[in-house]
Structure 1
Amino acid sequence: MERRIKLIWDMHGAHAKGTAEHHAIHLKEFAEREKISTTDVGTEDFSDTHTIAYMVVEEKDMIAVRDALRPQRAEVAED
Protein backbone atom coordinates (compact mmCIF):
# COMPACT_ATOMS: atom_id res chain seq x y z
CA MET A 1 0.00 0.00 0.00
CA GLU A 2 1.29 3.42 -0.95
CA ARG A 3 1.89 6.03 1.73
CA ARG A 4 -0.74 8.68 2.19
CA ILE A 5 0.20 12.32 2.68
CA LYS A 6 -1.89 14.86 4.60
CA LEU A 7 -1.57 18.30 2.98
CA ILE A 8 -2.45 21.10 5.40
CA TRP A 9 -3.63 24.70 5.07
CA ASP A 10 -3.62 26.69 8.34
CA MET A 11 -6.32 29.29 9.00
CA HIS A 12 -5.89 31.79 11.84
CA GLY A 13 -8.09 34.48 13.34
CA ALA A 14 -11.66 35.01 14.42
CA HIS A 15 -13.06 33.48 11.22
CA ALA A 16 -10.61 30.56 10.96
CA LYS A 17 -13.26 27.85 11.28
CA GLY A 18 -15.53 29.24 8.57
CA THR A 19 -12.61 29.94 6.26
CA ALA A 20 -11.25 26.40 6.69
CA GLU A 21 -14.68 24.86 6.05
CA HIS A 22 -15.04 26.92 2.87
CA HIS A 23 -11.51 25.98 1.76
CA ALA A 24 -12.30 22.28 2.26
CA ILE A 25 -15.20 22.61 -0.19
CA HIS A 26 -12.78 23.90 -2.82
CA LEU A 27 -10.31 21.11 -2.04
CA LYS A 28 -13.04 18.53 -2.74
CA GLU A 29 -13.97 20.29 -5.99
CA PHE A 30 -10.33 20.34 -7.08
CA ALA A 31 -9.91 16.63 -6.36
CA GLU A 32 -13.02 15.78 -8.37
CA ARG A 33 -12.08 18.04 -11.29
CA GLU A 34 -8.48 16.78 -11.47
CA LYS A 35 -9.47 13.16 -10.73
CA ILE A 36 -7.20 13.01 -7.67
CA SER A 37 -7.94 10.08 -5.41
CA THR A 38 -8.37 11.39 -1.87
CA THR A 39 -9.00 9.36 1.23
CA ASP A 40 -10.12 12.34 3.31
CA VAL A 41 -10.80 16.06 3.01
CA GLY A 42 -11.92 18.07 5.99
CA THR A 43 -11.16 20.47 8.80
CA GLU A 44 -9.71 20.17 12.29
CA ASP A 45 -10.00 22.74 15.09
CA PHE A 46 -7.03 23.45 17.34
CA SER A 47 -8.42 26.53 19.12
CA ASP A 48 -11.00 29.27 18.63
CA THR A 49 -8.55 31.03 16.33
CA HIS A 50 -6.70 28.16 14.60
CA THR A 51 -8.36 25.65 12.27
CA ILE A 52 -6.83 23.66 9.45
CA ALA A 53 -8.24 22.47 6.16
CA TYR A 54 -6.61 19.27 4.92
CA MET A 55 -6.57 16.81 2.06
CA VAL A 56 -5.14 13.29 2.30
CA VAL A 57 -3.73 12.01 -1.01
CA GLU A 58 -1.63 9.10 -2.18
CA GLU A 59 2.07 9.89 -2.28
CA LYS A 60 2.12 9.63 -6.10
CA ASP A 61 -0.31 12.58 -6.34
CA MET A 62 1.32 14.74 -3.67
CA ILE A 63 3.68 16.72 -5.94
CA ALA A 64 0.94 17.68 -8.41
CA VAL A 65 -1.42 18.80 -5.64
CA ARG A 66 1.37 20.61 -3.77
CA ASP A 67 2.42 22.55 -6.87
CA ALA A 68 -1.16 23.48 -7.81
CA LEU A 69 -2.53 24.38 -4.35
CA ARG A 70 0.56 25.29 -2.28
CA PRO A 71 -0.30 23.97 1.21
CA GLN A 72 1.62 25.40 4.17
CA ARG A 73 2.81 21.98 5.31
CA ALA A 74 2.40 18.24 4.96
CA GLU A 75 2.82 15.10 7.04
CA VAL A 76 2.56 11.38 6.57
CA ALA A 77 -1.05 10.42 7.28
CA GLU A 78 -1.62 8.01 10.12
CA ASP A 79 -3.39 4.76 9.31
Structure 2
Amino acid sequence: MRLLKLIWDFRGPAGAQTAVHHEKHLKEFAFAKALTTQITGVEDISELHSIAYLVVQEDEMRPVRDALKPHRGQVYTEN
Protein backbone atom coordinates (compact mmCIF):
# COMPACT_ATOMS: atom_id res chain seq x y z
CA MET A 1 0.00 0.00 0.00
CA ARG A 2 1.34 3.41 -0.96
CA LEU A 3 1.95 5.98 1.79
CA LEU A 4 0.95 9.62 1.37
CA LYS A 5 2.31 12.63 3.24
CA LEU A 6 -0.37 15.21 4.06
CA ILE A 7 1.25 18.61 4.59
CA TRP A 8 0.30 21.82 6.40
CA ASP A 9 2.38 24.95 5.67
CA PHE A 10 3.12 27.59 8.31
CA ARG A 11 4.83 30.83 7.37
CA GLY A 12 6.20 33.83 9.19
CA PRO A 13 8.31 34.35 12.29
CA ALA A 14 6.11 32.05 14.40
CA GLY A 15 5.76 29.39 11.70
CA ALA A 16 8.17 26.92 13.33
CA GLN A 17 6.42 27.04 16.71
CA THR A 18 3.01 26.75 15.06
CA ALA A 19 4.13 23.69 13.09
CA VAL A 20 5.38 22.00 16.29
CA HIS A 21 2.06 22.74 18.00
CA HIS A 22 0.08 21.48 15.01
CA GLU A 23 2.05 18.23 15.00
CA LYS A 24 0.81 17.52 18.55
CA HIS A 25 -2.76 17.65 17.25
CA LEU A 26 -1.88 15.43 14.30
CA LYS A 27 -0.45 12.82 16.70
CA GLU A 28 -3.62 12.97 18.80
CA PHE A 29 -5.78 12.56 15.69
CA ALA A 30 -3.76 9.60 14.39
CA PHE A 31 -4.04 7.87 17.77
CA ALA A 32 -7.75 8.63 18.23
CA LYS A 33 -8.62 7.37 14.73
CA ALA A 34 -6.30 4.35 15.05
CA LEU A 35 -4.59 5.16 11.76
CA THR A 36 -2.39 2.41 10.38
CA THR A 37 0.71 4.60 10.47
CA GLN A 38 1.50 6.96 13.30
CA ILE A 39 4.14 8.93 11.40
CA THR A 40 4.12 12.69 11.94
CA GLY A 41 6.80 15.31 11.76
CA VAL A 42 7.93 18.89 11.39
CA GLU A 43 10.40 20.26 8.85
CA ASP A 44 11.87 23.75 8.59
CA ILE A 45 11.93 24.67 4.90
CA SER A 46 13.44 28.11 5.54
CA GLU A 47 13.64 30.63 8.35
CA LEU A 48 10.08 31.76 7.61
CA HIS A 49 8.49 28.53 6.33
CA SER A 50 7.87 25.32 8.27
CA ILE A 51 5.62 22.35 7.69
CA ALA A 52 3.85 19.79 9.83
CA TYR A 53 2.90 16.49 8.23
CA LEU A 54 0.97 13.29 8.79
CA VAL A 55 1.64 10.11 6.81
CA VAL A 56 -1.36 7.93 5.94
CA GLN A 57 -1.99 4.89 3.83
CA GLU A 58 -3.58 5.70 0.50
CA ASP A 59 -6.88 4.02 1.43
CA GLU A 60 -7.14 6.20 4.57
CA MET A 61 -6.33 9.46 2.79
CA ARG A 62 -9.79 10.70 1.77
CA PRO A 63 -11.47 10.70 5.21
CA VAL A 64 -8.36 12.19 6.83
CA ARG A 65 -8.07 14.83 4.11
CA ASP A 66 -11.72 15.75 4.45
CA ALA A 67 -11.50 15.99 8.24
CA LEU A 68 -8.20 17.88 8.53
CA LYS A 69 -7.96 19.91 5.29
CA PRO A 70 -4.21 19.71 4.58
CA HIS A 71 -2.72 22.34 2.30
CA ARG A 72 -1.14 19.77 0.01
CA GLY A 73 0.13 16.22 -0.20
CA GLN A 74 2.75 14.05 -1.85
CA VAL A 75 3.87 10.44 -1.99
CA TYR A 76 5.85 9.63 1.16
CA THR A 77 9.35 8.24 0.81
CA GLU A 78 11.42 7.37 3.85
CA ASN A 79 14.79 9.09 3.97
Report whether the alignment pairs 1:64 with 2:60: no
CA-based RMSD: 0.9
Distance 1:74 1:6 in 2: 5
Question: What displacement does 1:78 show?
Answer: 1.3
Normalised by the length of structure 2, the TM-score is: 0.94
Q: Hey, what's the Cα distance between the residues in 2 that align with 1:50 and 1:38?
A: 25
Q: TM-score, normalised by structure 1?
A: 0.94
Give the corresponding residue for 2:13.
14
Q: Which ranges of structure 1 fall in alignment gaps of 5 or more residues? A: none
- Give the deviation of 1:63 after TM superposition: 0.4
Q: Which runs of 5+ in 2 are unaligned?
A: none
- After TM superposition, the runs of 4+ consecutive aligned structure 1 residues lying more than 2 A away are none
